Structure 1
Amino acid sequence: MNPQFDTKTLISLATFLAGAGSAVWGMVRFYADGEKKRYAAERDFTHLRNNQDQMRQSIQELTKEIDELSDDMKTLTAVFNVMLAQRGESVSGILGYKKRD
């Protein structure tokens, strides 16, 4: 048996192969786009997590600085009160309303 290929059969075969090829190409592109989006999402998530870690560290450093400044303010207030006590005055006496003559 010797199959004969006429023009219609060849055109049909070429059309089928083109359709099958484009379907395979479409599946490959669909998969590649999905992988690209997955990678981008992972990268964005990693950036967000790193930014959050940096912000957390910055907040901890700022909290430490605020605590140090608060301690300094308490020390300066105590020194100021001692100096006023040595002069025989008080904070309310210095900051209070004074009449002018």
Structure 2
Amino acid sequence: MDYQYPIDYTWSTDEIVDAIHFFECIEKAYENGIDRDVLLHAYRRFKEIVPGKAQEKSLFNEFEEVSGYASYQAVKSIKEISSGKKIKISQQKRKH
């Protein structure tokens, strides 16, 4: 990883740690796959930190810009895959 995660410096330390954990889960969904329930739990916590759609979209866009990973695709997969299954996003990471 040669980039910084998008965070809001008004968040508490715990919120920053949990938001970074969510983005790490997105990376895992693209790189190796991740258990759907782990990603769901991380996303629910992320939504507690970032309840607004506009800020969520902004952070997702920032993350995709620096990493090449589309958070929306991974979150969308949560609804499409049953509990207990693995999410693996096959879209290739863009090179920056």
Tell me, yes or no, whether TM beats 0.5: no
Which is greater in Rg? Answer: 1
The structure whose residues are more often helix, as a share, is 1
The structure whose residues are more often strand, as a share, is 2
TM value normalised by structure 2: 0.23
